Structure 1
Amino acid sequence: MTQRLLTLLCLSWLLLVLTTHATAAPADTHTAPEAQFRSGVTCLQNQDAACARLALNKIPSQSAYAKVLAGAIAVSEQDFDTAFSLLLPLHSSTTLHDEAAAILHSSLAIAYDNQADTLRALEQRTAAERFLQSDEQLHQHHTAIWHQLSTLPRDELVTIRGESPDTVVQGWIDLALAAKEQEGDALKNWPNFYPGHPAADGFSQELLTQRPTSPSGHNTTATTQTGTIAILLPFSVDMYYPVSDAIMQGFSAAQAQAGDHRELRIYASTDDPASINDLYQQIQADNVDMMLGPLTRDEISHLSQQSPPSFPVLALNQADDTADQQQNIYLYGQSLETEIAQIISTAQRLGMQSATIVAGNSPLSERMAQLFNVMWQDAGGHTITPPTPTEDENADSETSDAQPQANPNPADMIFLAANSEEASRIRPHLDTATPTFSISHIYSGMAQDPDNSALNAIRFLDMPWLLQPDAKQFSMFKEAASGLPPGEMQRWFALGADAYRILDHLNRNPEQALTFQGLTGKIEISTDGRIHRTLATGRFSTEGVILETMP
């Protein structure tokens, strides 16, 4: 019954689209097929399918306009199989005028509604929007999208949110999720995260004004935004000061975008992990709302030995043992294990079963290689040892890396455990015909770096912020991050920005799941507070670093 009601509502909306287009321009401004197409649309607007068929019979059967009109007729008669067979082949057509293209995608959306395929229907509606012109059409269109999404349960919204790489689609779903939060500023702040989204120009604000007010007369999304946020980072350690500063800049930028005016109070830890104990006692005494940090694993271990905090704590690393996560302490950071697990999943999805591991000579690269070896074999893969390496006689012993020789029995893939400098030295000695994968450490953060030329065709993982810095959804952070160098400091900035949104959510709705597209990737927070991050995929090419897939 519910599905039939939705179908009828969507058919009514399609008739509105047909109506607005049918009166958009005089018929004599079009060629014969277009004029007959418009006559058929007028018939459908009057709910006269027989009349529409007469117009259809006057259009050459091979014309795209004949197929679009026939598809619209099929939808009006709820013959959705016929609609799919006629319209799907035209999905990417660039020859239709705007009216026909809008009706094509709108008809497909209704057909997908009938299959209860919400995501495909939403994708078609966002495609149709490109061909709408008047404010009235756009508002009717946004209302139709909202009718589709607002009735879905949160779990279903979260599921389809994770299946779409399209930022417009993601924005609509996040808007629906934000509207379901009865407390907090999620709906109010949604435009800050999607400044170029079609709904950001007024529709989201219209939803905000329609939200019921509390008994006191204030909107339920309003907050006092008073209090204190503790920032526990190693500002007192020279090697960690730049990292701490970049995190702080990202966090404060996201806080400003959210309109949160709470005080950020810095508690600078030292190189003695035990200093965390005294700082933590001070933070508790200061009655803060929530806490960001600590940063290092040793500091997190010391913190976990203290009494559980009464406020949420977002630690920016993984603990040595995460099996028993302490109450109110949540873990989020740049983890080698997480990146390697994702690259293994990607490689195996592409059919890779065997791997050769090649590593640089730095301790971090060696650790990356060891982790990949263990995790690859745990996932069912097997490794092929490369031939005995040779050293470059002309290279400095402190900077030279082992140079693998050609292997007569190559593996399905190569995992290159190296930073950008090591990889540039190693890559020329590897078989370029063998797919090569790496993680974010291989990328310097400069898309047009000439030193990357040796790395062509290597696939790697990294944050969307580094792979697509000009994306509209990140535009509000560009100025705040402009003073930081490329690469690692930009990663820490992004981590800080997403940390604000995570921590603010955990403070407001600790038992509520959340998924959002952040600067660092797709962030998923479970109902028990476990945080999972999925990175974007990039590839080195002759044109520089390019984004392959968004999470």
Structure 2
Amino acid sequence: MAALLAGCAGQATKTDQAEPVEDAASSEALVTERLDTARDLIEQQRTEEAEVVLSALQFDRLNTAQKTDYAELKAEIALILGDGQEALNWLSGDRAYLFDGLPMERQIQIRFKRAEAHEYAGEYLAASRERIFLAPLLDGDQATYNHEQIWFDLQLVPEESLRTLAESESSPDLTGWLDLALIARENVEDVRQQVLAIDDWINRHPSHPAAQQLPGDLTLLRQIARQQPRNIAVLLPLTGPLEKAGKAIRSGILAAWYEARSLGRETPSLTFFDTALNQDAYNVYKQAVFEGADLVIGPLDKASVQRLQSQEVLSVPVLALNYSDNRNEAPHSFYQFGLAPEDEAEQVANQAWQQGMRRAMVLAPDSDWGRKVSDAFIRRWEIQGGHITSKSLFTRPDQYLNTVKRALNVHDSEQRHRNLQQILGRNIVFEPRRREDIDVVFMVAFPSQARQLKPVLNYQFASDLPVMATSHLYGGSDNPDRDKDLNGVSFVEMPWKLRQTPLENTVEIAFDELYTGYETLVALGVDAYRLYPRLPQLQRFPDARVYGVTGTLRLDEKRRVHRELTWAEFIEGRAETRTGLDDSLSPDTWR
């Protein structure tokens, strides 16, 4: 009996031990199967289904190898959706250790994903550094792509950030790239001088990767320097209803031209044509060409721009100073440059998305202009996958309170209070509430409007909501007494209005009667003069940038110039420029 019981006990013990081993093996196989399924779905771009499959797994209960696969798959889904911050949550920080012991080929892929995540998140300095450290491990097409992408990223880093890092960095490859990127920011208005600076950089860094393979847009500069126009015709309205606008642009062009001459640079001859004297802009263009122009800057008004755009061929290149509403194909030598507010709205949408915001409330004037700017934000926001919680259009100041209340659903909260009082038949203590499904407020407003709207938002329980705006809410000079209510509001603005330069001082003194109220058009004239030599460079290399006083300029496939402006924020009633510095500047955060 004792022997039988001992045998049974031993059998029972074996059974108790075998079952968990079987369950563990089964669980391991199930996890592997789910991870493989999610990977297959991601390859087919079926990200929602992949998310569902991964949601059935508990990350904290996986082993290290499974956690590594899981984190990489979650990052891939985030990158497909364009969510850089979410991808970085899985690829860096507390989870970065998961990828340390992987085979080299897989580590390379992880670093590529990490660089791409930084790019989606707008952390271009961190992205460029990731790619610079990755470069020695690459060859062939991968190496070529990564090389050009380093240069693309560095062009999007604010100059202050480049200089700050260049002063503290010791890595030869990184410092060489930073020095070259700073050269691209200097002597923007003088192609020949920039070519000399690049040649000097190559002599000082002969073994640097960028010296061995100079970024393509810089290589083209040598050819551009030899093909500068000698005679420029400027087509502007110098009389009539648009006289002040035309003369402000002329002031900017002349200021940039005189500055170049004073510095001993080669300058073209300038001839100004008054488009107000001839209704047909094409006739003015033909006259300018007949008189020897090899480049035309202008015209300004939309009708004239569209008249030139409609021509089948233009023998001399045109840099129009406005955008045509006609999206049809234009002649190959026809470029469009202006101060489109839609660029600002799209930049705000991109920045808010990069900061992790997904639900936006929109406040804008009830006008054609207000709807145009707010709709540009909404289009970009929804393309990225964002949600518009409400869009409210305001008119008179005495209606701002009701407009904001409706946007925040405070009216509904107050109505519930009234209904409850009727039901109970007595007064009750009550504090209204706003809707909670808002991450950011996009505000389109002029200074006098913004100074009233922001306090209304604060009063209606929205003081904690980030407010982002276009340049229109900034008056152009510090006015702390009037702007203190705008504290915390972030906005985009052209560098010309945020940083005083010697050229701006000259313009303000020499053209004082034209400057006040037309500063932005003066800046447009300055950039038009500085931009024309770079048009072939921008056209051939879409990633190339020109750093102007109206913003960082690039050219799209339709040869329309787009601007990226500088970020600023109201602090103690003053507009303070954001340098773009972030945690990516700390070496401790880089792996």
Please state which band the TM-score falls in when normalised by the shorter chain.
Answer: 0.5 to 0.7
Note closer, same or farther for the CA distance 1:172–1:518 as it changes in structure 2 (3 Å cut).
Answer: farther
2:443 to 416, 431, 434: 416
Deviates most, 226-235 or 440-449: 226-235
CA contact (8 A) 1:515 1:523 kept: yes
Residue matched to 2:481: 450
* Among 231, 244, 255, the residue aligned to 1:228: 231
In 1, Cα distance between equivalents of 2:518 and 2:361: 31
Deviation (angstroms), 1:363? 4.1
Equivalent residues, number: 375
Q: Which residue of 1 aligns with 2:78?
A: none
Give distance in 2, aligned partners of 1:187 and 1:257. Answer: 16
Per-residue CA distance 1:373-417 (angstroms, 9 max, x = gap): 34433432222237998976xx5x9xx786422542142111111
Corresponding residue for residue 257 of structure 2: 255
String of CA shifts for 1:217-251, please: whole Å, max 9, x gaps. xx99987988421111222233x222222222222
How far apart are the structure 2 equivalents of 1:257 and 1:517?
A: 17
1:465-516 C-alpha deviation (Å, 9 max, x unpaired): 21222xxxx4344323444577852222222212222212237996466423
Q: Select the residue among 487, 493, 502 that pairs with 2:531.
A: 502
Q: Does 1:162 align with 2:161?
A: no
For 1:275-294, what aligned pairs fall within 5 Å after superposition? 275-294=280-299
Alignment partner, residue 469 of structure 2: 438
1:313 Cα deviation (Å)?
Answer: 1.0
Q: Quick one: structure 1 residues 402 and 304, their matched pair in 2 at CA, closer, same or farther if it must change by over 3 Å?
A: farther
Which among 340, 361, 373 is matched to residue 356 of structure 1?
A: 361
Listed as ranges, the gaps of 5+ residues in structure 2 are 1-128, 137-145, 167-176, 205-221, 411-433, 582-591
- After superposition, residues 167-206 of structure 1 pair within 5 angstroms as 168=163, 172-173=179-180, 186-188=191-193
Identity %: 23
Structure 2: distance between partners of 1:432 and 1:384: 17
Q: Counterpart of 1:370?
A: 375
Q: Deviations over 1:7-31 (max 9, x none)?
A: xxxxxxxxxxxxxxxxxxxxxxxxx
Distance in 1, matches of 2:385 and 2:375, equals 16
Q: Which amino acid aligns with 1:521?
A: G
**Map 1:451-530 → 2, pairs under 5 A:** 451-469=482-500, 474-482=501-509, 483-484=511-512, 489-506=518-535, 511=540, 514-525=544-555, 529=559
Supply the distance in 2 between the matched residues of 1:390 and 1:248 (Cα, whole angstroms): 35
Q: Which of 527, 534, 540 lines up with 2:564 in the alignment?
A: 534
The Cα shift of 1:348 comes to 0.8
Structure 1 SS opposite 2:306: helix
Aligned residue for 2:568, secondary structure, equals strand
Instruction: Report the residue type matching 1:269 in the other structure.
Output: T
Q: Which of the two has greater helix per residue?
A: 2
Report which stretch shifted further, 257-266 or 294-303: 257-266
Is contact 1:247-1:496 (8 Å) kept? yes
> Greater RCO between the two (CA within 8 Å, min separation 6)?
2
Give the CA deviation at 1:539: 1.0
**Unaligned regions of 5+ residues in structure 1, if any?**
1-110, 119-151, 192-198, 208-218
Measured in 2, the distance between the counterparts of 1:443 and 1:173 equals: 34
How many angstroms apart in 2 are the aligned matches of 1:540 and 1:341? Answer: 21
Q: Is the 8 A contact 1:539 1:548 kept in 2?
A: yes
Deviation at 1:317, TM superposition (A): 2.0
- Is 1:319 the equivalent of 2:324? yes
Contact conserved, 1:157 with 1:173, CA < 8 A, in 2? no
Cα offset, 1:537, TM superposition: 0.6
Question: Which secondary structure does the structure 2 equivalent of 1:357 belong to?
Answer: strand
Amino acid at match of 2:364: A
How far did residue 316 of structure 1 move?
1.8
Contact 2:494 2:565 in 1 (8 A): yes
- Select the residue among 258, 270, 274 that pairs with 1:268: 274
Given that 2:233 and 2:295 are in contact with CA atoms closer than 8 Å, whether structure 1 keeps it comes out as: yes
Bigger radius of gyration: 2
Give the partner amino acid of 2:521.
Answer: W
Q: Take 1:375 and 1:221, find their aligned partners in 2: how far apart are those partners? A: 35
Deviations 1:121-170 (A, max 9, x none): xxxxxxxxxxxxxxxxxxxxxxxxxxxxxxx9777545423345436469
CA distance in 2, matches of 1:114, 1:338: 31
Q: How does 1:108-127 map to 2 (within 5 A)?
A: 115=133
Relative to 1, partners in 2 of residues 1:175 and 1:165: Cα closer, same or farther, differing over 3 Å?
Answer: closer
Q: RMSD of the TM alignment (CA)?
A: 4.2
1:370: how far off? 3.5
2-side partners of 1:388 and 1:242: how far apart?
31
In the other structure, the counterpart of 1:35 is none
Decide whether the 8 Å contact of 2:234 with 2:271 is kept in 1. yes
CA contact (8 A) 1:439 1:462 kept: yes
Q: CA deviation at 1:547?
A: 0.6
Cα 1:522–1:509 shift into 2, 3 Å = closer
